[in-house]
Amino acid sequence: MSDPALFSHADWQARAAALTFRNLCLIDGAFVPAASGKRFASVNPATGQVLTEVAHGGAEDIDRAVRSARNAFDDGRWSRQTPGQRKEVMLRLAALIRANIPELALLDSLDMGKPVKDAATVDAPGSAHFFQWHAEAIDKIYDEIAPTGGRDLAMIRRVPLGVIGAVVPWNFPLDMATWKLAPALAMGNSVVLKPAEQSPLSALRLGELALEAGLPPGVLNVVPGFGEDAGRALGRHPDVDCLVFTGSTAVGKLFQRYAGESNMKQVWLETGGKSPNLIFPDADLDKAADMAAFGIFFNQGEVCSANSRLLVHESIAEEMIDRMATRAAAAQPGDPLDPASRMGSMVDHRHADQVMNFIASGRAQARLVCGGERVTLNGSDAFIQPTIFADTAPDARIVREEIFGPVLSIQTFKDEDQAVTMANDTVYGLAASVWTRDISRALSLADRLNAGTVSVNTVDALSAMTPFGGMKQSGFGRDLSLHSFDKYSALKTVWIKY
């Protein structure tokens, strides 16, 4: 395969024109229409054009998918395979993802407007890596023997839960599906995956690749649909053992309610964020500015852990504002299929409206440094300039609420105590960053910041080896790392007297 990082604008356009879309529900190993026969449009937000009509899954389709997953789990076609056998299938799936990176990258780019170069060099390769990493971990996780003594043998075994319902967002469609699927499948569970209605295409293709890799039919089912029908049906289904979700805090609360209304299924949530980025005078200010721009403008700011609050020591405030304005000017939106584009479009016109509403609020409550305008490209006005506000008050809406767009608010602090107070003054607790050369300060602040990940002299540090998740209303439970297996398994004690 040619290196996608070297593809030209024309190369990507030609590949996009030749794409074939999988647009039906994947249930029990076969693509089938929705039981209702309904479809919905999958729209390219960067052009406003319809890509394809996708099966509109509903409660009946979720029920079919759950029954298929339950049958697959109960008959042991996957759950009772050895760890080594599951590992081989998942390694083949990782290889197939790598072999199809251009196609998978295009599906996500066309579906949600992100730069295809980012999808081809970060998202799709990352998905292959995460499948491989979890596959390699399967036969490295050991059960335990309790030190009971005497004529007793107490075995503590880690066993799969059964049927997992997974609901994933539109901002990283392939990656977020992988974060849920890899550990769930590795443990031997069956899964019903509901991708976001804005971005179902890569999930459906991933399901097809999983079958090609040797995953038995019924072990992975993919039902595209909307939250109010397919999502709610999955959350309330009495035969789903565990529901995992990445998305908004408001919808996460709905899934907690659905679980209580049905079978008290486990619910694991990774929800919103309003991540602070603290910069001290002794930091490398150029590098801090580079990464601060990445932390808010990458993926158009549509990142749950986006560093959307820049807290700067008052002695370097104007210097950092100038640096950030320069970097924003270099990150203007462009055609997502052009490898030179630093930013793409918002996921859809409605979300662009919401972001512009936040910008209007910011204009009334803070000083606009740069950006703030909507941009029309290729007939679509879903593009928004990278936007920076300064002199923002602590109670400003753009400081308090998750925007999920390329909008940065800059505040100043006098000392460490004030910086920590400002950073923690939020209902969220997903991520935080600190920039300083003082190791004592870095370690002290890492202890005091209420966040699931604290990155020092970088932003959004991430690895398959470390857990990702939040505190407070950013949710609970962790994706990635060996800890990700915890929510897809149960501990069973087997006690033998002899």
What is the rounded (10 degree) CA torsion for 124, 433, 268, 181?
A: 10
Whole-number pLDDT of residue 103: 98
| Mean pLDDT, residues 28-52 taken together | 98
Q: What is the pLDDT of residues 357-389, one digit of tens each?
A: 999 999 999 999 999 999 999 999 999 999 999
Mention the CATH class of domain 276-463: alpha beta
Q: Rounded to whole angstroms, how far apart are CA atoms 337 and 345?
A: 11
DSSP string for 403-438: --SSEEEEEEESSHHHHHHHHH-SSEESEEEEE-S-
Check pLDDT > 80 for residue 283. yes
Check pLDDT > 70 for residue 1. no
* Active site members: 270
Check pLDDT > 90 for residue 150. no
Check pLDDT > 60 for residue 120. yes
Check pLDDT > 60 for residue 18. yes
Residue type, 364: A
Joined tokens for residue 185: 């499948």
Q: What is the pLDDT of residues 411-425, one digit of tens each?
A: 999 999 999 999 999
Q: Rounded to whole angstroms, how far apart are CA atoms 274 and 430?
A: 8
Q: At a CB cut-off of 8 Å and minimum separation 6, what does 95 contact?
A: 128, 213
Q: Rounded to whole angstroms, how far apart are CA atoms 225 and 144?
A: 41
Q: Rounded to whole angstroms, how far apart are CA atoms 184 and 180?
A: 6
Residue type, 423: A
Domain 7-271+475-494 has CATH 3.40.605.10: yes
* Radius of gyration of the chain from its Cα atoms, rounded to whole angstroms: 23
- Domain residue extents for the chain: 7-271+475-494, 276-463
